[in-house]
């Protein structure tokens, strides 16, 4: 009977595991292999160059700038996004005034707010980037037009300013990702028994206290997973798409918005250095794995059940 059970399990796992190895693991192995070559990406001919690409990468100022920007996004983007999402979700579920028959309730119109917060998730990331590119246009954009209308003549150039460009990109990423976590955290808060909150309020606890003593500890696993997800998102496709579409260059001005995924793309398809691009990709893989491991280790807590 046991042998039959194992054959049954293996029969279900062999196909998805084979697909995972072919389409996920094997490309990683290929990337590591090509990082030791001078492959241009345009020709099947290449030769092994050992650690030359890695030496070049460590001496590359643009790589270090890109790494700094990517790490900033991976740290600050989850912090701001998850913080806002927790605040909004708490207000939508617990932060309202007492009503007849309900000691715990969200603010009025919470259903509408959830839809409004989630709306950016419906839009493609490319559409979001194009919309905000027009909005931040220094000459004809809505934001500078509004500032001029209320009396500000010395308006910033936003994406043209090396000191502001990365912060603008980060603000757009926060805008388009917060809504997803508002809905996610709202679902988690809805599953927390109302009795917990009512007992705390009867004991004189404030909303602030109930959030840090009840809500956050019981949602911690979800928050931790969201932090890892947001970090990977910032280091991956969404961070690349926003920067590639919105920024000057892209990646400018003066490499002020260049992130690792964009530098991989430019090295491979603009400069014809696919071997060097895969070297940067390996560094990006290491940074992503290290980030996920640190978050899971630092954020590990005893699991609470209710």
CATH classification of the domain holding 294: 1.10.3720.10
- Do residues 281 and 264 make contact, with C-beta atoms less than 8 angstroms apart? yes
**Looking at the domain assignment, is residue 12 inside a domain?**
no
**Looking at the domain assignment, is residue 84 inside a domain?**
yes
Better-scored residue on pLDDT, 233 or 4: 233
**Looking at the domain assignment, is residue 246 inside a domain?**
yes
The pLDDT confidence band at residue 13, using thresholds 50, 70 and 90, is confident
Better-scored residue on pLDDT, 128 or 95: 128
Q: Tell me the C-alpha distance between 274 and 260, whole Å.
A: 14
Res 244: pLDDT: 92
Q: What percent of the chain has pLDDT over 90?
A: 38
The pLDDT confidence band at residue 121, using thresholds 50, 70 and 90, is confident
Residue 102 scores a pLDDT above 60: no
Res 181: pLDDT: 92
Domain count for the chain, please give it.
1
Res 235: pLDDT: 87
**Looking at the domain assignment, is residue 24 inside a domain?**
no
**Looking at the domain assignment, is residue 43 inside a domain?**
no
Nearest alpha carbon to residue 278 among 292, 267, 289:
267
Residue 207's domain spans which residues? 60-298
Mean pLDDT (the chain, rounded): 86
**Looking at the domain assignment, is residue 134 inside a domain?**
yes
Q: Which residue has the tokens 């419906």?
A: 122
pLDDT mean over 201-220: 82
Nearest alpha carbon to residue 283 among 291, 272, 294:
291
Residue 8 scores a pLDDT above 80: no
pLDDT tens figures, 165-193: 999 999 999 999 999 999 889 888 888 88
Residue 214 scores a pLDDT above 60: yes
What sign for the dihedral angle of Cα 220, 231, 234, 73? positive
**Looking at the domain assignment, is residue 33 inside a domain?**
no
**Looking at the domain assignment, is residue 47 inside a domain?**
no
Res 2: pLDDT: 57
pLDDT tens figures, 141-172: 899 888 888 888 888 889 988 999 999 999 99
């Amino acid at each position: 009977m046991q042998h039959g059970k194992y054959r049954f399990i293996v029969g279900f796992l062999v196909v998805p595991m084979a697909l995972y190895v072919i389409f996920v693991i094997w490309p990683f192995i290929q990337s590591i292999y090509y990082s030791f070559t001078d492959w241009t990406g345009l020709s099947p001919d290449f030769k092994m160059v050992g650690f030359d690409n890695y030496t070049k990468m460590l001496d590359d100022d643009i790589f270090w700038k890109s790494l700094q920007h990517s790490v900033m996004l991976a740290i600050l983007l989850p912090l701001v996004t998850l913080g806002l999402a927790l605040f909004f979700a708490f207000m939508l579920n617990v932060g309202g005034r007492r009503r007849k028959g309900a000691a715990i309730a969200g603010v009025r119109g919470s259903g509408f707010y959830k839809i409004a917060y989630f709306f950016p998730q419906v839009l493609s990331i490319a559409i979001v980037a194009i919309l905000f590119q027009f909005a931040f246009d220094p000459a004809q954009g809505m934001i500078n037009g509004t500032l001029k209308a209320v009396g500000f003549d010395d308006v910033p150039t936003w994406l043209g300013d090396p000191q502001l460009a990365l912060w603008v990109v980060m603000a757009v990423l926060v805008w388009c990702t917060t809504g997803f976590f508002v809905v996610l955290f709202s679902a988690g808060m809805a599953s927390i028994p109302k009795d917990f909150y009512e007992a705390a309020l009867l004991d004189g606890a404030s909303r602030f206290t109930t959030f840090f003593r009840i809500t956050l500890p019981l949602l911690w696993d979800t928050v931790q997973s969201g932090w890892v997800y947001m970090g990977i998102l910032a280091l991956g496709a969404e961070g690349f798409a926003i920067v590639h579409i919105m920024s000057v260059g892209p990646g400018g001005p003066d490499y002020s918005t260049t992130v690792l995924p964009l530098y991989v793309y430019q090295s491979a398809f603009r400069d014809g250095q696919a071997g060097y691009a895969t070297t940067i990709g390996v560094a990006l893989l290491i940074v992503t794995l290290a980030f996920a491991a640190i978050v899971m280790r630092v954020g590990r807590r005893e699991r609470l059940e209710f």
